[in-house]
Amino acid sequence: AIKKRGKNAVRFFAADMDAAATERLRIETRLRAAILDDSLSLHYQPQVDALSGQLVGLEALARWTDADLGTVSPGEFIPVAEDTGLIVPLGAWVLDEACRQAAEWHLTVPIAVNVSPAQVSRADFAQTVQDTLQRHGLTPDRLKLELTERLTMRDPTLAAQHLASLHALGVPLSLDDFGAGQSAVASLMTLPLHEVKLDRSVLTGVTDDPDTWDGVSALLALARGVKLAVIVEGVETDAQLEALRTLGCRAVQGYRTGRPARPDEMVVHLRQGGTTP
Ligand code: C2E
Ligand code: MG
Ligand code: MG
Ligand code: MG
């Protein structure tokens, strides 16, 4: 089809690029305002012990509904925030709000917060984390930071230094999305991590047939081998949950054990003991 359209195809492509750039600029402008006027919010998703159903953590996930743009997913606005530097104030807001909420709820399990490479790369990041914990009267073990491997790609030495400061503070570090894209086993052995979070893609094809469990079973063995806690994300079905239970995986997160929920919904769940059947 491209060949037939010839020159026109190039023009269509250029027009698409233009539309994409315009859309990104619109997102950037509105997002800047949203950070200033406090119109972002957080949803919380339970992290659950697969055997007992007990709550073992809560992940804070950024949400944004704009008057003009409507609801924009983090998959759309986080990359824009990262490209424009807005991730620094946005990330600081997320960290503060998650800690405030954890303190208000008197959570006894960690609140997990996603952090982007641009945040962790800043010289003052560990200080920001320490100040935020202090402001809300939380001990470092009440927080957990979810990092991605994109962090180590930028500047491995600097990343290692900053992770060491966070580790020294006593904040647990989790490597998010492991098994998606290029995941380096070396990261698991060299970074001061507490936990590895297996990406939901590792559950692709897992059914109630044990023959489909080999891949995830090997990844669980890898995590155990390097003495890291492991959590599997994106658990959607009974069969996946059952497989993980059988393989001895304790921590899971996904639609099967609880969708991301607004604070007012989450508080009801917490009052009921926070246990998932
Ligand atoms: P993530 O940290 O890997 O978060 C998990 C994503 O998977 C969330 O998408 C969650 O809603 C979704 N999810 C949870 N359970 C299931 C399931 O069973 N099935 C499926 N299909 N999906 C499930 P969400 O909220 O759209 O966030 C997408 C990504 O955006 C996050 O991936 C994270 O990388 C990023 N993100 C979200 N909030 C923040 C933030 O405050 N700061 C930063 N830096 N990144 C954020
Ligand atoms: Mg995450
Ligand atoms: Mg993830
Ligand atoms: Mg993800």
Ligand positioned closest to the Cα atom of 178: 3
Q: Is 114 in the pocket of ligand 1 (CB under 6 A)?
A: yes
Say if residue 16's pLDDT is above 80.
Answer: no
Average pLDDT of the segment spanning 217-231: 96
Average pLDDT of span 271-276 = 87
Q: Which pLDDT band, with edges at 50, 70 and 90, does 38 fall under? A: confident
DSSP 261: B
Q: Which residues contact 104 (CB under 8 A, 6 or more apart)?
A: none
Residue nearest to atom 42 of ligand 1 (CA): 114
Average pLDDT on 9-37 reads 84
pLDDT at 3 over 60: no
Q: What is the mean pLDDT of residues 70-84?
A: 95
Other beta carbons less than 10 A from residue 89's beta carbon: 14
Shortest CA distance to 200 belongs to which of 186, 218, 216?
216
79 lines ligand 1 (CB under 6 A): no
18 touches ligand 1 (CB under 6 Å): no
Q: What is the DSSP letter of 174?
A: E
- Does 23 score more than 90 pLDDT? no
CA separation for the pair 172, 194 (Å, rounded) = 6
167-212 pLDDT per residue, tens:
999 999 999 999 998 778 888 888 999 999 999 999 999 999 999 9
What ipTM was predicted for this assembly? Answer: 0.97
DSSP state of 143: E
pLDDT higher than threshold 50 for residue 2: no
